[in-house]
């Protein structure tokens, strides 16, 4: 566990930092600043930043959906390479869970070959007595679209609440 790391809820001014972190964390894609701003402004506590000695070193961007089959969608999560394997991503997810402890379902889009990410979300679900499985709520409608071509699958994390 890395010490001296703080997890903060993002403010509207953190849009640039989210983009920079996404760029530094392939396979994440850096999206438009306006996209990050929209999440920060529209979904309080859905975007969290990990900070170490005044530097932003990781982030998580999520939003709640009204679709009961999707629940909260974790859009992006990334940690700078130098800080990986120290529990930072788990701290971000723990903090998200602390903000929204009653939510029964979380979804994420993950390349099944992305072992760190698959393992992270599996461990996270287990930590809260939950399970992770493929989420069929997405698949049919997205076949042969650019989203499908990312080569990622949609997963659901179900929690006991
Ligand atoms: C995935 C990512 C966010 C993990 O961040 P991290 O801070 O290193 O993860 P943590 O240290 O909190 O690890 C928590 C758990 O995740 C899993 N994990 C993390 N990195 C792993 C790796 N390289 N190999 C296998 N499992 C890994 C482990 O289960 C780990 O628990 P453990 O340390 O007790 O074994 C980071 O590797 C990253 O930014 N990758 C690039 C961007 C990305 O792929 N994002 C996800 C897209 S869906």
The domain segmentation of the chain, as residue ranges, is 5-158
In 4-140, beta strands by DSSP E: 5-9, 47-52, 55-64, 72-79, 105-110, 131-134
Say how far apart CA 75 and CA 3 lie, in whole Å.
26
Could you tell me if the CB of 28 is within 6 A of ligand 1?
Answer: yes
Ligand 1 centroid – CA 66 distance (Å): 28
Ligand 1 centroid – CA 95 distance (Å): 16
Say how far apart CA 110 and CA 127 lie, in whole Å.
19
**Residue pLDDT tens, the chain, 161 long:** 668 999 999 999 999 999 999 999 999 999 999 999 999 999 999 999 999 999 999 999 999 999 898 999 999 999 999 999 999 999 999 999 999 999 999 999 999 999 999 999 999 999 999 999 988 766 666 667 776 666 678 899 999 87
Could you tell me if the CB of 89 is within 6 A of ligand 1?
Answer: yes
CATH class of 5-158: alpha beta
Ligand 1 centroid – CA 104 distance (Å): 23
Q: Whole-prediction pTM value?
A: 0.95
């Amino acid at each position: 566990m890395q010490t001296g790391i703080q997890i903060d809820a993002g403010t509207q001014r953190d849009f640039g930092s989210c983009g920079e972190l996404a760029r530094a964390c392939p396979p994440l894609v850096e999206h438009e600043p306006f996209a990050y701003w929209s999440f920060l402004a529209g979904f309080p506590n859905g975007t969290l930043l990990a900070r170490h000695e005044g530097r932003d070193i990781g982030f998580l961007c999520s939003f709640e959906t009204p679709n009961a089959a999707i629940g909260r969608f974790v859009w992006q999560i990334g940690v700078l390479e130098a800080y990986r394997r120290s529990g930072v991503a788990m701290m971000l997810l723990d903090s998200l869970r602390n903000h929204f402890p009653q939510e029964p379902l979380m979804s994420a889009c993950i390349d099944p070959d992305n072992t760190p990410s698959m393992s992270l979300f599996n461990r996270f679900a287990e930590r809260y007595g939950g399970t992770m499985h493929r989420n069929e709520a997405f698949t049919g409608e997205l076949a042969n679209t650019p989203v499908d071509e990312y080569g990622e699958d949609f997963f659901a994390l179900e929690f006991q609440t």
